[in-house]
């Protein structure tokens, strides 16, 4: 299993536009679509592309459209080959300028969930 010192590698500086992110959305666990959207945003790296003023969900996160099933695209706003989702700061769990670091972190998170660590 890969080893990452999470707080030594990730989340070192303030979150900035252009950073890659892993989000852990607040969701309704009784709703299957909501749970699936949570799994998409938690198990894929997104990119913080815009700050939206005057709202709690002020971080616009971009995801590749190909990772989102057609029946769930209504939960995202669209722009060509990408989809966007608004997040609050509390929902952005990990961020880094390096996408590979976050992909490694997803591998670690998947392993810990698999073995209930």
Domain boundaries in the chain?
Answer: 6-114
- Tens of pLDDT along 60-93? 999 999 999 999 989 999 888 889 999 999 999 9
- The pLDDT score that the predictor gives to residue 13 is 75
CA neighbours within 13 Å on the CB side: how many for 110?
Answer: 14
- The pLDDT score that the predictor gives to residue 81 is 80
- Which residues of the chain have a pLDDT value below 70? 1-12, 113-117
Q: Given strand 46-51, what is the order of strands in its sheet?
A: 77-79, 82-87, 59-64, 46-51, 20-23, 92-96
């Amino acid at each position: 299993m890969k080893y990452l010192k999470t707080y030594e590698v990730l989340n070192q500086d303030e979150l900035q536009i252009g950073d890659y992110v892993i989000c852990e959305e607040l969701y309704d666990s009784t709703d299957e679509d909501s749970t699936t959207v949570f799994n998409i945003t938690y198990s894929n790296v997104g990119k913080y592309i815009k700050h939206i003023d005057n709202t709690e969900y002020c971080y616009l996160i971009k995801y590749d459209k190909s990772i989102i099933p057609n029946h769930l695209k209504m939960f995202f706003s669209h722009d060509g080959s990408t989809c966007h989702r608004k997040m609050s700061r509390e929902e952005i769990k990990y961020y880094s300028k390096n996408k590979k670091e976050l992909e490694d972190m997803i591998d670690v998170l998947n392993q810990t969930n698999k073995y209930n660590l």
